[in-house]
Structure formats: C-alpha cells, structure tokens
Amino acid sequence: MDKIVVHGGHPVSGAVRISGSKNSALPILAATLLTKEPCVIHRVPDLSDVHYMLQILNRLGADVERASGVVTVRAEMVETIAPYDIVRKMRASVCVLGPLLGREKEATVSLPGGCVIGDRPIDLHLKGFEALGAAVRVHAGNVKVFAPELKGAKISLKGKFGTTVLGTDNVLMASVLADGVTVIEDAACEPEVVDLANFLNKMGARIEGAGTSRIVVEGVKELHSAEHEVIPDRIEAGTFLIAGAIAGREVTVTRARYDHLTAVTSALEACGFNIVGTNGAVTIRPNGSLHSLSLRTEPYPGFPTDMQAQMCALLATAKGDSMITENIFPQRFMHVSELKRMGAAIELDGATANIRGVNALSGAPVMASDLRASAALVLAGLQAEGQTEINRVYHIDRGYELIDEKLCSLGAQIERVKV
Ligand code: EPU
C-alpha cells in the first residue's frame, strides 16, 4: 500500500491543469447504458473510482474502450444485476440503477452501506423510482427496482439534509425514457447534474431546468449515440487554490470553471487572498496575512462539503478563531483528529468545528480516512514544519488524478513510497 511523504515548507507556485470532474464522469458513464449505440466521453479522469465504474459497465455487458482520457462505451445488450464484488468498492455505483431501470425496466444493485463520512441512505432515489411507477424490494443486501412501465410523475427530492445529487441524477436517468412528463422538484443544482443533463439531451432526451431546483423531463422513446466532454473538476480546482493559499506565491488553475468556484473563491477572498478568474483559469495570490472565517457547507451554489476538510487545513493556521459547520454530512470530520496530531487546535461541537489558529503545524505520520480528508492532510503537510507521512493513500487516488505529481510540478516536495 502506498504512502505519501510531504516535506513541508516548500513554496508552491505556477500553473496546474485541472482534470475532468469525477462526480460528473461517474453518472455520465452510467448514462451510456441508456442506449445501444456507442457514446464517446472526453476528459474522463484517470481515477480508481472511474476504473470501478468502467468495470461495472463491462460486467453489465457493455464494451468499454479507453485511450488517454477518452472513453467509448457501447452497451448493445445489458444485464440488470450489478455485481456485488465491484459495486461494494464504490458508493457511486448506485447510479447505474436509474439508467438500467429506464432502459430495461428493472435493476438490482447491492445496497450501499454507511461510509466513513456518515450514514448514506438512498431512500430519496427509491422514492423517486416509486413515483415513476417502480416497485422496490430489498433482499439479501440488494435493492431491486422493477416496473412494467415507467410513467412521468411529480417527484420531490427534499430530504432531511436537503436534496440529493446522485438521487437527482438517478431519477433523471430513469425518467428520460418514461412515458409522459416528469417534474423533479427540490432537485440538486450542482454543475455535475447540469453536465449529466446536457449529455442526456445530446443523446436525444428532453430535459429543461437542470441547474435549478425544478427539472422538467419529457419522456422519449429511445436515446442515441452522443459525444461529450466532462466539465472541469471544481473540487480539484478548489483544492489546488487552497494549496496556493497555504504555501503559495501565486498559483493558477487552468482549464477550470471560475463560475463553478464562486463559494470557494469568496471564502478565500474573505481570508485575505486576491483571486482573479476567467472561465479558463483562476489565480490566487497571497495578500499578507491569513484571516479567520466562519462558514457552513451547503448545497450548490453554497460552500461545498467536498471542500470542508481542505478549508479546515487552511484555517488551522489562520489568525484568530474560525468555525466550520457541516450541514450535508454532519459526521464528516475524520480529518480533525489527524490535523490535531499535527498541532492544529480544533474542537468539535456536533457538526461544527471550532478552529483556533496556531502559528504552525508540525509534520507527523497520519492516516487518510476518506478522499477529501486525505487531500486536507496533504495540504496540511505542505505548510507543516518537517515531514508528514500520509498512510492509506488509496483514498486520494479515488478522486485526484496525479495529485502528488501535479503538486511537485508547482514546487512541492512530495514522494510516493511503496510500503
Ligand atoms: N441523503 C438522504 N437520502 C438519500 C440520499 C442522500 O438522506 O436518498 C442525504 C445524505 O445522507 C446526505 C445528503 O442527503 O446527508 C446529501 O447527499 P447526496 O445524496 O447529495 O450525496 P451523494 O449524491 O451520494 C455526491 C458526491 C459526494 C458529495 C455529495 C454532496 C458523487 C459521486 N458524490 O454524493 O462527493 O459530497 O454529492 O455534494 O457525486 C466526494 O467526491 O468526495 C464526495 C463524497
């Protein structure tokens, strides 16, 4: 198992190119199951979660080819049971349920369990399928959804913690081939949902309103082949902007979407950084001191939960007291105890992290627990005195393409060590 060793205190500067979005690529790849014709997807990031999704598509009967970021999927025939041995490795495999139900009118997938960032139910996905006319059976750890036919319906995806991103994707993918009009209320507005809807429309779907909380889908009889480029990964871009904030002279993220990063850039500006952006590149420049901040995670366009851990790492050395409240996954604070081992002064009070800025962090051996927590530890290592050893780095490879190489290209000193 690899570990990453970060030698702290080396400034980073320069430009880094952002990869395609993981959280767009996964549902878009699943959506290729909706047609027998080939689909070509560009800018697919080289990540272990993407590999799992391609394996699932393959095991479901699709032909999958991949060549330097371009994936071609041809799903002439599909199986409707997703195999447990692959599904269990990635929670996002649940998003094959929608397209299989849409196309074959039935699908069986292992029920995702909880994960380290908290309880992750799929009740809202299932409620959406039921509204379209599907029956849901849970048996022996699997969830089966099936329907003689799918009929357009009015569906609300409002849950205890707001809406659901993959649930919106799933219901959208099931409804494009339903008979009649589906209205999804309280839909997720994330750019990744818009990207999926744009791809589905290229395949012949009739979707309006993606990016707002009300999506209207007029069902069609069938979908056809399409070609699409995945949007830039806004979480990777935000993570590199924080690398610039933590250890930067000036860092530019290229091939990034400035308009998708507003909540993150506003938070960084409030901490005292200068940010300049266009829809191709965003640059962060230090501006003297790092101020404390209070923020809360929210659905898009609010501050993303997927940037909360990285922000904790930054604010650990901000002057004064900061506060971060996690509203999407209230238990998503596994990084806190590891950051404390590096000298951070953070106390948890329910879903709020109270952070008292310290002068410096010190390198330590730490344990990665999930994807974004791992990124936070790498960021903390950049600014820490001495050496930080991050174990269990397979988590980071799930969602960041070549993070160590990209940071090294900016001047960081990071090694990947085989243990
Ligand atoms: N929820 C329910 N019922 C449901 C679905 C969700 O109560 O049926 C709750 C969840 O427990 C959570 C909240 O609703 O409290 C939001 O969860 P959501 O369904 O939106 O999360 P997701 O769609 O499973 C995606 C991303 C996550 C990201 C969240 C929130 C993908 C593959 N995953 O997950 O990304 O944190 O949206 O923005 O798109 C990551 O990339 O590190 C990551 C975890």
Contact 283, 252 (CB under 8 A): yes
Output the CA–CA distances (angstroms, integers) from residue 308 to 282, 334, 389, in the order listed.
20, 11, 21
Q: Examine the domain organization and report whether 130 and 237 are in the same domain.
A: no
pLDDT number for residue 113: 58
**Shared-domain flag, residues 203 and 242:** no
Within 8 A by CB and 6+ apart from 247, the residues are: 9, 10, 11, 12, 382, 383, 412
Q: Answer whether 101's CB lies under 8 Å from 108's CB.
A: no
Supply the pLDDT for residue 114: 54
Residues 303 and 339 occupy one common structural domain:
yes
Tell me which residue of 51, 112, 66 sits closest to 87, measured CA to CA.
Answer: 112
Any residues with Cβ below 6 Å from ligand 1, and which? Answer: 23, 26, 92, 119-125, 159-161, 164-167, 305-306, 328-329, 371-372, 399
Residue 235 Cα: closest atom of ligand 1: 41
- Cβ(95)–Cβ(25) below 8 Å: no
Residue pair 335/376 in contact by the 8 Å Cβ criterion: yes
Of 204, 226, 248, the residue at which a domain comes to its end is: 226
Q: Which of 193, 226, 259 is the last residue in one of the domains? A: 226
166 CA to middle of ligand 1, Å?
Answer: 7
d(CA 206, CA 210): 11
Residues 6+ apart with CB under 8 A from 67: none
β-pair partners for 229: 42
160 and 263 inside one domain = no
Atom of ligand 1 nearest to the CA of 169: 23
* φ/ψ of residue 63, rounded to 5: -85, 130
Ligand 1 center to residue 111 CA distance, Å? 15
Let me know whether 133 and 169 are in one domain. Answer: yes
11 & 33 share domain: no
Q: How much is the pLDDT for 87?
A: 86
Closest protein CA for atom 39 of ligand 1: 23
176 & 289 share domain: no
- Strand ranges (E), 38-93: 39-42, 63-67, 70-74
Q: Which helix or strand (DSSP H or E) is residue 357 part of?
A: none
| Separation of CA 30 and ligand 1 centre (Å) | 17
Nearest CA to ligand 1 atom 27: 306
Residues 279, 187, single domain; the answer is no
Q: Please, what are the averages of pLDDT over each run of 10 residues along the chain (419 residues)?
A: 93 97 98 98 96 96 96 96 87 95 96 68 95 94 94 96 96 98 98 98 98 98 98 98 92 97 98 92 92 97 98 96 97 96 98 97 94 96 97 90 96 93
- Domain holding 130: CATH number? 3.65.10.10
**Pairing outcome for strands 181-185 and 214-218:** antiparallel
172 and 273 in a common domain: no
In a shared domain, residues 165 and 242: no
Whether residues 337 and 396 fall in one domain: yes
Length reported for the chain: 419
E strand segments, 147-195: 154-156, 181-185
Task: Give the pLDDT confidence score for residue 84 in this predicted structure.
Answer: 85
Assigned token pair, 404: 């160590």
- Say whether pTM exceeds 0.95: yes
| The token pair that represents 110 in the structure block | 């292992």
Angstrom distance (rounded) from CA 252 to CA 13 = 8
Q: Which atom of ligand 1 is nearest to the CA of 92?
A: 32
Domain of residue 274, residue span: 2-18+232-418
For the CA of 126, the nearest atom of ligand 1: 8
pLDDT for 223 equals 98
256 and 182 both lie in a single domain: no
Alpha-carbon gap, residue 17 to 406, rounded angstroms: 8
Q: Which residues are catalytic?
A: 115
Which tokens go with 96?
Answer: 């094959």
At which of 195, 226, 257 does a domain end?
Answer: 226
Q: Domains in the chain: how many in total? A: 2
Query: Beta partners for 415?
Result: 5
Residue with CA closest to ligand 1 atom 35 = 306
